[in-house]
Amino acid sequence: MSDGHRRAQTVIQNILRLTNLLMAGKRVAVLGHEPELAARLRAMGAQTLVTDPAGALHGHRVLPAERALPVADLVVGAKREHLGLLRDGAILATAEPSADLFAVPAGTTAEPSAELLAVPAEPFAGPVGTRVRDGITAYRLDADREVFVLDGAYGPNHGHEASVPDGAYGPDHGHEVSVPDGAYGPEHGREASVLDRAC
């Protein structure tokens, strides 16, 4: 079985287990080259939004990211540059830890630049997420928009057997989760490999 097929099922399992939501009828933006994932999502009843024009031949809606993201209920493979485009309530299955997504990149000042985030810099001056459920952290982007980031739904652990996050909650549970600056070590901040890998 190809990596793409295996990853497709695993990502879908992670998303549904973490959220307890229904896939049918969701508008799902699939960023990056993930044809197997997009096909599986479509077969489960999602309205898939992809950027590759060839996707139209497989029943996907083809849109550039800047038009897909504002309508997407769920975004697979979101990166920092997409934050400014998200709708309120969007759920993100990211290729990088949410800390990476929202934290100030190493080597910059504490004041993130608007160009890096493509969103008003202010909300990220002290990026703080709130744990809303096991494996889900809410980030407020601005007064009108809050987004939810899923832990590891599309992360480097993909392809392995789904680990049920029982007891994953430490004693910090229920408190605000402050983004652990640099807590991820030297690998932290690298480009997401999943998105770039051809499948």
Task: Note the residues at the interface with another protein (CB under 8 A).
Answer: 1, 5-6, 8-9, 12-13, 16-17, 19-25, 40, 43-45, 89, 131-133, 136, 161-162, 164, 169, 173-174
Q: How far apart are alpha carbons 136 and 130 in whole angstroms? A: 9
Query: Shortest Cβ distance from residue 18 to another protein (Å)?
Result: 10
- Compute φ and ψ for 75, nearest 5 degrees: -125, 120
Q: Return the C-alpha torsion angle 180, 77, 69, 41, nearest 10.
A: -130
Closest to 129 (Cα-Cα) out of 162, 161, 164, 94: 94
Query: Considering the complex, what minimum distance in angstroms separates the CB of residue 21 from another protein?
Result: 5
Tell me if 162 sits within 8 A of 13, measured CB to CB: yes
User: What DSSP designation does 17 have?
Assistant: H
Measured from the CB atom, the residue of 8 and 195 that comes closer to another protein is 8
**Shortest reach from residue 184's CB to another protein, in Å:** 25
Q: Measured from the CB atom, is 117 or 147 closer to another protein?
A: 147
Q: Of 102 and 148, which CB lies nearer to another protein in the complex structure?
A: 148
For another protein, the closer of residues 21 and 183 by Cβ is: 21
Q: HSE-up of 87 (CA within 13 Å, CB side)?
A: 15
Q: Provide, rounded to whole angstroms, the least separation between the CB of residue 118 and another protein.
A: 26
Closest approach of Cβ 187 to another protein, in Å?
A: 26
What is d(CA 25, CA 118) in angstroms, rounded to the nearest whole number? Answer: 29
Q: Which is nearer to another protein, 98 or 112 (CB)?
A: 98
Rg, the chain, Cα only: 16
The C-alpha atoms of residue 147 and residue 164 are separated, in whole angstroms, by: 23
